[in-house]
Chain A
């Protein structure tokens, strides 16, 4: 609720309940060096995404689609979108690229912006920070610098406030991804932490004036009961699910750490061996020298002691990112719920 009120974008002329603007205050204001500082989404796009999920997605399945639009000054305007068809096993030879190209060509014929500015994806309880998302977003961003990914959370939306967020990879992460080196050293050099993987871009939903007028009219007509879901006090289910997911991630994280730990131990053990070997060598050489014999030939130590393969750190970073998202979600959710509870308490006291 609170966020909704804060989130009224500067450019929107209205904030109707159906397409409640959800510009996030939390998005890094100084989205930085990238030219795009703001994403402006057409109401049509939002509705299309919602509709797509409602018709095709259920449960843990996600729906995806392509965003179309154009860049105006420091603003990325998303004016249209089209969905990807759901994948099934029997049409394995479906050519996605072909489909996209054709779709865009067709849309151009009807005078729709055809710049490919990113893609959208639905999510299940906010679990979207995955390798797949990273990879595809990287390829988008690699091709078109401005592209973003829109994450639509249908469950949160069902609770009364539209949840739509725009993300893109930080330039740092882009660099690392470009090199495809996810070793601990590389990540350290790139100074990448889970906080600096994705950056959120503020969203503004823009509608035409005519639509806004219509919204106002509908607002007046709609019954109060339609807006009640926002005030629902029930919290256990959502919270429980999120906790469960969070726990799963923590487990994964734990495993990852154990793996890393083993790696560390192996490395240090090897270092020790190497050291011992060198010392022995040196001693022997000294003895030889004293006996007047030629020293032993130098050997390639790296061949003798192959350093163990360092585990890729990208996964753990992603998990950490996901955990972070969950935590944000829980924080947000509990804050809202506490507010609601206090409100309810006050109401009760007032009534009694």
Chain B
């Protein structure tokens, strides 16, 4: 079973594909263990054997060994510890001991230990030499063992009477230590060799035993396999045949079966037929009749000359090659799937061979489709690892296979394919009723699409290889389109939504140059464009998107598909400069509110959409909207990550390998990327157009806020430069332009923003570059004018609008409107003198000094207030009285202050 198919529905369909229930079960059972390594399989069997007896006994013997070691070095403390452990371990092993009887070696250690302790006890001199701990341990241990041994009295006496025999018994058990055992009982402090052997023996034995079991297992497996192969001997035969002619297989395919292999085949088939005959007599008889009906099958490969030659023969033995046989075989192959050691490549080839056989025998489309499904599935299975991607040849094979499958499906509208069709209710050959095959073409195609993305993700985007792969995109699209057509007829709405989404995902990011061209030419000559339209493919991508998305909006019940569709729709609108539609859709969808709950890929899509929206707004000259749309992405400083266009280099602590892998899988393929430099440039330029006039207007305002932090950051970086050369990078250009704009020097600003370098880097990336450039120039002129007025209005008493329009190369009405707007918004304290076309400044803006003084006054006011509060505390209950006074004072002060300001103003005005 595939480990890749994680979603329930997929695995379901797969399992049902793999055959009848009886067959599926063992496969499913194996599935759990399959991911284990081969060596682990061995351990598996080991565990089974050991679990009962040997495990416990090994534990015991290990303990015994340490006790013996401790005895040898007279470490009684250690002995005591180990003895206690031994007692516990024995307790654990109790159940086995009950069954098997008390093990010899256990009795022996007990006996030996007691002897040893008694010996030590009697040895007064030795005891004196002992350290305190040991002496203490000795007495405790002696008492304990005496008590403990009471339970085993009979065994021990038995043993003591007949140590040889018992040793022999042991020897029987552990062949190896037969010599050691005799030494062993003579004195406790026996040879180490013995101990070692003793302890090793059981494990050795068990190992041996295991081996045996394993062999047996293998044998049984083999026999099972044999049986399997027997039942369907054809497969083993074809297997061997394949081994012989592995190279010829491909060739033979092209040759449409060389006669030589044909011979072999026949033999194989004969063999198989014989076997099958016995088993599927009854079934085959029934099938037989149907087969004749199926002979009109249209599978392409069959059409060669060879099958025709073969046909008569097949008919002669037609009773043998039946659907049941083929399906049985198919199930066999599928059973091997996912198992360790199955050669996935050979499996695919096997399946392909099976298709050929089926087609040669005219088993009909039902079987062919079923096998094809499985071929594609095994192609997907080919890579055991999620991270790796399909090899090109595999990929090609997969595409071909799906195409063939689609061919069949289109050619036979009476075939029903669906994942909801149960295995039992499959109808592969009964032509009277519509054919029913379990399997989901949509899932396969979706999987194919994912594989394609994976391939693109894993190819170096700057290599020729990438271009080669990208060429397959058309094929992928074609397949999706075909599936779409197919499902539109047969699929459920849910499926249609899914396939529409696939289609949308392959459409939304592509700029429709044809439609664009058409739009451009439309006003000039409509007749010609009509012709063009006829020539062009039927549908505008805009219309297509509209149609698909609307269907999804209406019919989809899963939120995710709809969200994706909306985002793609917005993206598409934005890409084609339909700003208002895009904006309205975005606002209507309310996605901003809950997008943070979506899964990362959708979030990435959302970010991409927002960015595209911002860029679209910029192209339309809506700098503010552009800035707002891009603010979130840009301000974080990790646009790259947010757009899924690359991983940021971060320390490994923040992200472990697993996470990195997941993130890597989320990356958007290179051909969908949004140019980051373009993005940043658009952001910075719109920030410049907003920020510079704002800065000029609020130069001395203490509460001035930054519109764009990032832009300020860039400015600061520019200021910090010790040596200011001509700008190199895009950022430096923007910074230089900003500086020029600050002075109201629009020409310099213009030359910094639009020049060869910037064209190459940024502006030429827009589909309508010239339009954007003219828009930009105008914006720069306007904003420079505003900045100029803000900055230098204090210098002028009045200024002629004509002069301004000359300076900024804007026509008079524009200048007039800009200035009027500024006056209305109270940004510029001035009035327009209509007859002379001049702006008369009112000179009410305080100068820098006055501003400072005002601020100081404000601060002092708060200081005084704070101070008075302290005073209030001192006064305590009398506060009320003083407060009145204070209020009066404050009022007075406020009046004074304002009065002073007025005075200052009038002073400067003159």
Binding site for B on A (CB under 8 A): 236, 239-240, 243-244, 246-247, 250-251, 253-254, 257-258, 260-261, 264-265, 268
Contacts and interface: CB of A to CB of B under 8 A. Distances in A.
A315 to B, nearest CB: 15
Contacts of A258: 866
Contacts of B853: 243
Contacts of A239: 849
Contacts of A260: 870
A257 B863 contact: yes
B862 A254 contact: yes
Contact of B863 (A240, A243, A244, A250): A250
B849 A240 contact: yes
Interface string B863-885: 10011011001000000000000
B765 interface: no
B863 A254 contact: yes
B406 to A, nearest CB: 74
25 contacts: A236-B847, A236-B848, A236-B849, A239-B849, A240-B849, A243-B849, A243-B852, A243-B853, A247-B852, A247-B855, A247-B856, A250-B856, A250-B859, A250-B860, A250-B863, A253-B863, A254-B863, A257-B867, A257-B870, A258-B866, A260-B870, A261-B866, A264-B873, A265-B873, A268-B873
Nearest to B860: A250
Nearest to A246: B856
Contacts of B869: 257, 261
Nearest to B853: A243
A336 to B, nearest CB: 16
B866 A257 contact: yes
Interface residues of B, number: 16
Interface in B834-857: 847-849, 852-853, 855-856
A260 B847 CA distance: 36
Contact of B859 (A240, A251, A268): A251
A265 B872 CA distance: 10
Contacts of B859: 247, 250-251, 254
A261 B863 contact: no
Contacts of B860: 250
A70 B860 CA distance: 45
Q: What 7 pairs across the A-B complex have the smallest Cβ distances?
A: A257-B866, A243-B852, A264-B873, A250-B859, A254-B863, A247-B856, A261-B869
Contacts of B873: 261, 264-265, 268
Contacts of A236: 847-849
Nearest to A243: B852
A264 B868 CA distance: 13
A342 to B, nearest CB: 15
Interface of B: 847-849, 852-853, 855-856, 859-860, 862-863, 866-867, 869-870, 873
Contacts of B855: 247
Contacts of A250: 856, 859-860, 863
Contacts of A265: 873
A243 B870 contact: no
A6 B847 CA distance: 34
A240 B856 CA distance: 11
B507 to A, nearest CB: 59
Nearest to B855: A247
A264 B873 CA distance: 7
Contacts of B849: 236, 239-240, 243
A251 B855 CA distance: 11
Nearest to A265: B873
A253 B866 CA distance: 10
Given A253-B863, A257-B863, 4 more contacts: A240-B852, A254-B862, A254-B863, A261-B870
Contacts of A240: 848-849, 852
B251 to A, nearest CB: 78
A264 B870 contact: yes
Contacts of A244: 852
B430 to A, nearest CB: 91
A259 to B, nearest CB: 10
Contacts of B852: 240, 243-244, 247
B871 to A, nearest CB: 10
A332 B179 CA distance: 115
Nearest to A267: B873
B856 A243 contact: yes
A268 to B, nearest CB: 6
Contacts of B867: 257
A271 to B, nearest CB: 11
A257 B853 CA distance: 22
A254 B848 CA distance: 23
Contacts of A257: 863, 866-867, 869-870
Nearest to A255: B866
A55 B520 CA distance: 70
A236 B852 CA distance: 11
A247 B857 CA distance: 9
A265 B874 CA distance: 10
B910 to A, nearest CB: 13
A333 to B, nearest CB: 12
B883 to A, nearest CB: 16
Contacts of B862: 254
Contacts of B863: 250, 253-254, 257
Contacts of A254: 859, 862-863, 866
A239 B851 CA distance: 12
Contacts of A243: 849, 852-853, 856
B900 to A, nearest CB: 14
A104 to B, nearest CB: 40
Nearest to B869: A261
Contacts of A253: 863
A12 B866 CA distance: 48
B873 to A, nearest CB: 4
Nearest to B702: A247
Nearest to B862: A254
A243 B862 CA distance: 17
A250 B862 CA distance: 10
B569 to A, nearest CB: 53
A254 B866 CA distance: 7
A320 B148 CA distance: 90
Q: Could you say which of B847, B849, B863 has the most chain A C-beta atoms within 10 Å of its C-beta? A: B863
Nearest to B852: A243
A265 to B, nearest CB: 7
A313 B422 CA distance: 88
B30 to A, nearest CB: 69
B624 to A, nearest CB: 33
A331 B873 CA distance: 33
A243 B867 CA distance: 21
A83 B844 CA distance: 51
A264 to B, nearest CB: 4
A239 B847 CA distance: 13
A236 B850 CA distance: 10
Q: Could you say which of A253, A257, A258, A265 has the most chain B C-beta atoms within 10 Å of its C-beta? A: A257
B565 to A, nearest CB: 55
A264 B874 CA distance: 9
